[in-house]
Structures are given as C-alpha cells and as structure tokens.
Amino acid sequence: MRAVALIAHQARPLERGFWQDYLTTMRPYLLFVSGITGIAGLSLAPSVTLPAFLVLGVVFFFAYGLGQALTDCFQMDTDRLSAPERPLVRGAIMREDVIEVSLGGLLVSAVVVVAFNPLNVVVAGLTIFGLLTYTWFKRRWWGGPWYNAWIVSLVVLLGYFGGAGAAGESLTFDAALLGTMFVAFAAYANFVLTGYYKDIEADRVTGYLTLPVLFGRRLSAFVSDGIAIAAIVGAGVTLLSAGWHADLWPAVLFLVAGAAFSISAQLRLHGVRSDKAAHRAIEPVVHSYILVLAGLAAAHQAHWTPFLVVFYAAFVWTMKRRPIKAQI
C-alpha cells in the first residue's frame, strides 16, 4: 500500500486542470469496455443508420468513464490505500464536483438514448440507480461482481433499443439478444472479480469483504474459472444460434482470440500471489471481453469488421499507455 500525497489546490470544473484529472478518473483505456458493449447491442438491430451508430456509439464509449468516476466517489476509503495516485484521493479534484459532473453526463447520455427509443428511459434509469448503489454490494462477497455485471449487461439492451428505434423497427427478444446480454454479464463479472485481486490488502483493511478477501485467492480463482467458461461457452452458443453462414468467419476469429486471452488470464490468475502482480491476470481479461463482444457484433454485422479491428487496435494502444501499469 502506498502513501497518499495530498496537494494544496483543487481544480474546479471551470478550470482546465479539472478535466485533465477527470479524464484520468474515467480510465480512458476502459472506455472501450462500455463502447463495445453498446456496439454489440446496436448490431442486433437489423439495420443501423450511420447517424444512430455514431451518436449512440459515442454515448456508450464514454458511459464507462462516467460510471467509473461516479463509483470512485463512494470508494475513496479503499482507494486511499490501493491507488493513492488517483486525482480524487490526492485531492486534486473535489468529490462533490465529480459526482455532479458524472451524474450530469449520465443524465445527458440517458436523454440521448431515450430520444432514440422511449423504452430506454427505464433501462437508463436502472443503470444509473445501479451505479449509485454498487458500493454497498461490493462490500459483500456474494454481491459485487454480479451486481456490477447486470448494470453493464443493460448497455446491450440500450444499444439494441436505440438501434431499433432509430430504424423504426419492432423489438424482438430472441436468443441472440438474451445470449449477448448473458455474455456481457458473465464476462464483465469475471473482470470485476479479477479486478478485486489488485485491491485485496486495501479492501481487507477498509471492510470490503470481497470474495478474494473472505475466501482467498485460490478459491476465488476457481470461481473465476467457472465464470470465464460460462462467458466463452455462452458466446459460442450465441454465435451459432442463428445458424452457420460464410459471413461468420470474422466473428469466429474474434471469438477464438477472445478465448485464447481468457485462458491466459485464468492461468495467470492462479499464479497471482500479491496485489501488485494482479494486473498480469486482469489485463488479458479485458482483452478477452473486447474481442468476444466484438465477435458477437461481427456475427450480426459482418461489414463492421474493419471498424471492429480498428476499435480493438485503438484499445490495445490506449491500454499500453495507461499511466500506472498495476492499476486497471
């Protein structure tokens, strides 16, 4: 655990320094997580207009960062021990300002997705409610990963509703939609669980009884294995649910790459013995998430493949440039 280095001046929203620190708080390298989740949902709409894709894609891309900044405001106790370099912990920006900006951004995002489909008012409301209440569940070993994951799985629904609404199409709750939501749920739950490995010492001190804190790394790794298998198998079943056709090859390649990263992540997770080493297992989990969801998107919109390849390449580049390698 590292010491907190407080600074004297707190930048406010009208100052440039605030937005630099707020961007850091958003975790730019993880914006791709919500981005690909929303895109996977958009891909389920039979015909997605370019304006809808661009507008909704931007909203989904930044959704993770807004939600991450908001939840950080309620977990500063453990972050003071595990991530003292973060702007909120250092006092570079005010907690109240971050809450207001994050909620404002989430509300604007909600207005946009609701404009594409009024049904999104319920889904968007649930996601914001989930983010505001997540910390209580994180403190309980049985709640954190699953509670966080259902919030992210709703982004698939937001994308599908938005894409269908933009094209004036009726909604179909079929195996493809439910399967994609399940894959997002399982894959993200595994990301959350593995992410807890980097904060075990701090969480133990501050009373966050996560699965690794309460039951140890070894048992938690086996639980993680089960979730990872469920995500990959679910992706395979969802991929083939509509029947095989030639355009599925790009999707299969994405899925195979995602499965390879998932296997690497699980093997590394079983070898983690300290919080500092956890990032070696967490990083391939994120790669797997992006690739698997990209595969499901390519399965429905094969002509998006070039964009999805560029999207993943941008993620890889951004991930390599993260300032603190041990924090993901």
Q: Give pLDDT, residue 218.
A: 97
Q: Give pLDDT, residue 167.
A: 85
Using pLDDT thresholds of 50, 70 and 90, give the confidence band for residue 243: confident
Residue in the structure block whose two tokens are 């989904």: 60
Answer yes or no: is pLDDT of 242 > 60.
yes
Q: Give pLDDT, residue 22.
A: 95
Per the model's pLDDT, the better-predicted residue between 7 and 56 turns out to be 56
Answer yes or no: is pLDDT of 2 > 70.
no
Q: What percent of the chain has pLDDT over 90?
A: 82
Using pLDDT thresholds of 50, 70 and 90, give the confidence band for residue 192: very high
Q: Give pLDDT, residue 40.
A: 97
Tokens for 107?
């509300």
pLDDT-wise least confident of 20-29, 181-190, 262-271: 20-29
Per the model's pLDDT, the better-predicted residue between 276 and 2 turns out to be 276
Answer yes or no: is pLDDT of 230 > 90.
yes
Using pLDDT thresholds of 50, 70 and 90, give the confidence band for residue 117: very high
Mean pLDDT of the chain: 93
Burial 117-147 (b: 16+ CB within 10 A, else e): bebbeebbeebbebbbebbeebbebebbbbb
Amino acid identity, residue 317? W
pLDDT in tens, 122-175: 999 999 999 999 999 999 999 999 999 999 999 999 999 999 998 888 888 899
Answer yes or no: is pLDDT of 327 > 80.
no
Q: What percent of the chain has pLDDT over 70?
A: 97
Spatial contact of 184 and 145, defined as CB atoms under 8 Å apart = no
The neighbour count for residue 97, using CB atoms within 10 Å, is 17
Claim: this prediction has a pTM higher than 0.85? yes
Using pLDDT thresholds of 50, 70 and 90, give the confidence band for residue 5: low
Between the CA of residue 236 and those of 153, 225, 242, 312, what are the distances in Å?
A: 17, 17, 11, 20
Q: Give pLDDT, residue 79.
A: 87
Q: What is the 3-state secondary structure (H, E, C) of the chain?
A: CCCCCCCCCCECCCCHHHHHHHHHHHCHHHHHHHHHHHHHHHCCCCCCCHHHHHHHHHHHHHHHHHHHHHHHCCCHHHHHHHCCCCHHHHCCECHHHHHHHHHHHHHHHHHHHHHHCCCHHHHHHHHHHHHHHHHHHHCECCCHHHHHHHHHHHHHHHHHHHHHHHHCCCCCCCHHHHHHHHHHHHHHHHHHHHHHHHHHHHHHHHCCECHHHHHHHHHHHHHHHHHHHHHHHHHHHHHHCCCCCHHHHHHHHHHHHHHHHHHHHHHHHCCCCCHHHCHHHHHHHHHHHHHHHHHHHHHHCHHHHHHHHHHHHHHHHHHHCCCCCCCC
Using pLDDT thresholds of 50, 70 and 90, give the confidence band for residue 49: confident
pLDDT in tens, 278-326: 999 999 999 999 999 999 999 999 999 999 999 999 999 999 998 887 7
**CA 306 – CA 183 distance, rounded (Å):** 22
The neighbour count for residue 273, using CB atoms within 10 Å, is 8
Q: Give pLDDT, residue 304.
A: 96
The alpha carbon dihedral of 254, 58, 158, 315 has a sign of positive
pLDDT in tens, 197-229: 999 999 999 999 999 999 999 999 999 999 999
Domain segments of the chain as ranges: 16-320
Answer yes or no: is pLDDT of 72 > 90.
yes
